[in-house]
């Protein structure tokens, strides 16, 4: 497996920030069962080599800082969320009740095939809200597609599939879809009204732009309406 994302500059800043010497860092890591020479800390900080997952976890603990700080980015992929919570692939697979090779394949191929129960345990273990969970396991595209079909057609027939996808009560999903369908219809009515009245093209473009922005944020709007947090969406 490739080395995890790592920022030499952040590692050095974190060490200096709490006043530790490289010798003290390796001593703290040794207490965690990861024994490395002092030179390795200097190599990490210079960018000559990158730490392994186990070394990254030990270094973060030794420096009293979150793993994402040393990665110098907020986690987005399944692997990065796992690293942020300091899970090895084996430990997380055991936690969710999945074969470790199957889990590793999900990370490497960016394709999640876990059961509903495994997915729920994964979300709990990694602290993922529904919106972020869908993006991490590749369900965001499916959500966007279903929502567009719902607002552009007969939304009622999409209630059950969407409720299963986001693990929400069908009643809440139905209410959200009704609201979204009404908002989408309002855009169309305004556009057609200006078109029939032969208003200037600038106004038509303005409405079209508003509708495009609304569609872009459709999943976030839907998750908000059904009561799910949408933090972290790009």
Same domain, 47 and 122: no
Say if 3 falls within a structural domain.
Answer: no
Same domain, 99 and 160: no
Same domain, 121 and 164: no
22: CATH: 1.10.260.40
Same domain, 45 and 117: no
CA distances from 118 to 92, 114, 175 (A): 11, 6, 28
The closest of 40, 64, 60 to 50, measured between CA atoms, is: 40
The pTM score is 0.64
C-beta separation of 125 from 92 below 8 A: yes
Same domain, 97 and 146: no
Same domain, 154 and 214: yes
* Pairwise CA distance, residues 29 & 55, whole Å: 8
Q: Is 3 helix (H, G, I), strand (E, B) or coil?
A: coil
The most confident of the ranges 96-100, 182-186, 204-208, 228-232 is: 96-100
Cβ–Cβ contacts within 10 Å for residue 111, how many?
A: 11
Same domain, 218 and 164: yes
Same domain, 61 and 13: yes
Does 25 have pLDDT greater than 90?
yes
Final residue before a domain boundary, out of 30, 49, 71: 71
Domain span at residue 47?
Answer: 8-71
Final residue before a domain boundary, out of 36, 51, 71: 71
Same domain, 147 and 189: yes
DSSP per-residue letters across 160-177: HHHHHHHT--HHHHHHHH
Q: What is the DSSP letter of 182?
A: H
Higher pLDDT, 230 or 181: 181
pLDDT tens string 84-138 = 999 999 999 999 999 999 999 888 887 888 887 888 899 899 998 877 787 787 7
Count of alpha carbons within 13 angstroms of residue 153, beta-carbon side:
11
Same domain, 101 and 44: no
- Radius of gyration of the chain measured on its C-alpha atoms: 24
pLDDT tens string 40-88 = 999 999 999 999 999 999 999 999 999 999 998 888 889 999 999 999 9
């Amino acid at each position: 497996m490739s080395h995890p994302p790592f920022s030499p500059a952040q590692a050095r800043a974190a060490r200096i920030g709490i006043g530790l010497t490289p010798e003290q860092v390796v001593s703290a890591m040794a207490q965690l069962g990861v024994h490395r020479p002092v030179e390795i800390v200097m190599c990490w900080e210079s960018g000559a080599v990158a730490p392994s997952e186990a070394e990254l976890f030990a270094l973060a603990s030794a420096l009293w800082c979150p793993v994402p700080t040393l990665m110098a980015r907020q986690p987005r992929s399944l692997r990065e969320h796992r690293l942020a919570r300091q899970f090895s692939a084996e430990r997380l697979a055991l936690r969710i009740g999945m074969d470790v090779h199957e889990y590793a394949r999900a990370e490497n191929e960016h394709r999640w095939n876990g059961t509903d129960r495994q997915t729920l345990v994964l979300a709990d273990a990694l602290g993922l809200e529904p919106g972020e969970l869908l993006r991490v396991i590749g369900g965001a595209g499916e959500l966007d597609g279903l929502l567009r079909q719902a607002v552009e057609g007969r939304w009622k027939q999409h209630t059950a599939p969407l409720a299963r996808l986001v693990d929400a009560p069908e009643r809440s999903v139905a209410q959200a879809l009704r609201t979204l369908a009404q908002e989408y219809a309002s855009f169309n009515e305004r556009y057609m009204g200006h078109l029939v009245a032969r208003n200037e093209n600038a106004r038509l473009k303005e409405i079209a732009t508003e509708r495009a922005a609304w569609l872009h944020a459709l999943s976030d709007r839907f998750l908000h309406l059904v009561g799910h947090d949408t933090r972290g969406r790009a």
